[in-house]
């Protein structure tokens, strides 16, 4: 994207905004720009002496308010704030300069950057500061973050205020400009989970990127088409026929969508951690199961998974594996968190090869790959990977009564309208060899359930 295209996107967000929340104010250099657009503005500056000058400057802008606070993810933590030598401390930060701000790797060697003083200041969360100041965050839907490496800390302290935000114009670093400061991948991952999408990629080691909140969609309608409803019925019908120990289990459900499989385990007296990569899906999950204490929900992006604090008796991974770029990493993560059984259903590629077969998918479709790339591994690839991670791996003697589940391998034609071919696997920490519904090899032919 060209610089002119970026500028137009920024200007469009500013023009349509109800108000601006500018974090990292310094002396409010953009005050005239905001005033020309007729926008109310709340500025936040950490340094008390700079804040005093900011307030004096804003006297000529009656719709602009300057607040003082060192923004972070928690309140009342005393921290050393580093004051820089440039532009009256314009690059001052919670963090010291890193390798790409000073020394031979500096992105700006001509500036001779250095931190020349420190000031001990208490931190404050953004939501706390706005509440104490009587500011209604609903009036400020365009946020500008210029916090010199502390952008992620400020967002983590935003709380409910973030729900009012439609767009964020944020300073980002690909390299270590500030020691301990958030880098691009960390910030992008966090905002991904919060439902924001970058409008361009950084073009240098230190850049500004515009994030927009993903458009709201009717997620229930996406998952509750006649095709999806029938497909789920047949899959769960098949799962219940396998004779597995599915009652009174601690269950991790990954790629849960809006929870159409979750109640299968609730009906069997299980406790379920139901997860999905998309925040809008998890919001739906929370609302759907809010009155059932057996269900907890969490945003969990399997492309960039956070380690969980416990292992599970049973992991339910239906309809997820083929929506990720690196299925091997996903299976390794699931194995690390499984102390019992993994039940896995996925789209596969026919044939006897050992391939992952990446495919593009629509990131805008809440039922498809969160990061825009999926895969269609062969059965043999899935089998080999599970065998390396679990002591016991099985195929199912039967297939669900649905046209996407062929009965004959490996050359079964794709006879359904969307050309998908699916298989079911079971991996276990202990032997399930006495279960007549399971096979310890990849069969050439199945029965129908």
CB 145 within 8 A of CB 23: yes
Torsion angle (degrees, nearest 10) of CA 352, 356, 358, 362: 100
Residues making up the chain, counted from first to last: 449
Q: Which parts of the chain register pLDDT below 70?
A: 1, 215-217, 410-418
Give just the sign of the alpha carbon dihedral 429, 433, 435, 438: positive
CB 149 within 8 A of CB 93: yes
Angle among Cα 181, 186, 192 to the nearest 5 degrees reads: 140
Spatial separation of the C-alpha atoms in residues 409 and 446, rounded to whole Å: 9
From residue 323, how far is each of 60, 326, 439 by CA, in Å? 54, 9, 26
Token pair 């083929």 is found at 322
Q: Which two tokens stand for residue 17?
A: 């905004």
Over residues 373-406, the pLDDT tens digits come to: 999 999 999 999 999 999 999 999 999 999 999 9
DSSP, residue by residue, 52-102: HHHHHHGGG-TTEEEEE-EE-SSSS-EEEEEEESSTTTTT-BSS-B-TTTS
Task: Count Cβ atoms below 10 Å from residue 362 Cβ, excluding itself.
Answer: 11
Over residues 224-270, the pLDDT tens digits come to: 889 899 999 999 999 999 999 999 999 999 999 999 999 999 999 99
pLDDT value at residue 27: 96
Of 436, 350, 441, the C-alpha closest to 393 is 441
Domains parsed from the chain with CATH numbers:
3-213 (3.40.50.150), 219-448 (3.40.50.150)
Spatial separation of the C-alpha atoms in residues 81 and 260, rounded to whole Å: 49
Task: Count Cβ atoms below 10 Å from residue 397 Cβ, excluding itself.
Answer: 17
Task: Count Cβ atoms below 10 Å from residue 387 Cβ, excluding itself.
Answer: 12
Spatial separation of the C-alpha atoms in residues 64 and 34, rounded to whole Å: 9
Close Cβ partners of 293 (under 8 Å, ≥ 6 residues apart): none
pLDDT value at residue 284: 87
Q: What's the pTM value of the predicted model, to 2 decimals?
A: 0.58
Can you say whether residue 327 is alpha, beta or left, with left for phi > 0 and alpha for psi between -120 and 50 degrees?
A: alpha
């Amino acid at each position: 994207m060209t610089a002119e295209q970026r500028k137009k996107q920024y200007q469009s967000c500013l023009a349509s905004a109800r108000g601006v929340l500018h974090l990292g104010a310094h002396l409010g250099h953009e005050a005239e720009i905001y005033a020309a657009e007729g926008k109310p503005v709340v500025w936040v500056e950490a340094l008390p002496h700079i804040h005093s000058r900011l307030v004096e400057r804003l006297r000529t802008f009656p719709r602009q308010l300057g607040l003082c606070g060192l923004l972070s993810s928690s309140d009342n933590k005393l921290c050393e704030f580093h004051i820089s030598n440039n532009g009256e401390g314009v690059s001052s930060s919670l963090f010291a300069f890193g390798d790409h701000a000073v020394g031979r790797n500096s992105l700006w060697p001509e500036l001779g950057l250095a931190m020349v003083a420190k000031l001990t200041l208490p931190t404050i969360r953004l939501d706390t500061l706005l509440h104490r100041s009587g500011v209604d965050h609903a009036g400020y839907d365009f946020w500008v973050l210029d916090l010199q490496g502390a952008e992620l800390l400020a967002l983590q302290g935003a709380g409910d205020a973030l729900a009012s935000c439609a767009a964020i114009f944020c300073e980002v670093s690909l390299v270590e400009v500030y020691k301990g400061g958030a880098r691009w991948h960390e910030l992008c991952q966090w905002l991904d989970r919060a439902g924001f999408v970058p409008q361009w990629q950084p073009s240098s080691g230190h850049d500004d990127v515009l994030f927009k909140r993903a458009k709201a969609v009717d997620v229930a309608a996406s998952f509750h088409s006649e095709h999806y409803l029938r497909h789920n019925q047949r899959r769960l019908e098949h799962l219940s026929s396998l004779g597995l120990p599915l009652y009174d289990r601690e269950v991790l459900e990954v790629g849960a969508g809006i929870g159409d499989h979750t109640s299968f385990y609730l009906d069997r007296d299980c406790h379920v951690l139901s997860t999905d990569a998309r925040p809008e899906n998890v919001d739906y999950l929370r609302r759907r199961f809010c009155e059932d204490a057996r269900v907890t929900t969490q945003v969990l992006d399997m492309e960039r998974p956070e380690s969980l604090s416990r292992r599970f008796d049973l992991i339910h991974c239906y309809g997820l594996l083929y929506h990720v770029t690196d299925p091997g990493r996903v299976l390794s993560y699931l194995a690390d968190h499984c102390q019992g059984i993994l039940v896995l259903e996925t789209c596969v590629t026919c044939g006897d090869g050992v391939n992952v077969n990446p495919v593009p998918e629509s990131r805008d479709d809440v039922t498809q790959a969160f990061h825009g790339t999926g895969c269609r591994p062969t059965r043999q690839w899935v089998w080999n990977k599970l065998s390396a991670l679990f002591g016991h791996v099985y195929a199912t003697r039967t297939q669900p009564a649905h046209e996407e589940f062929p009965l004959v391998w490996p050359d079964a034609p794709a006879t359904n309208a969307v050309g998908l071919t699916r298989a079911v696997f079971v991996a276990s920490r202990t032997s399930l060899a006495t279960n007549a519904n399971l096979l310890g090899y990849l069969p050439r032919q199945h029965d129908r359930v």
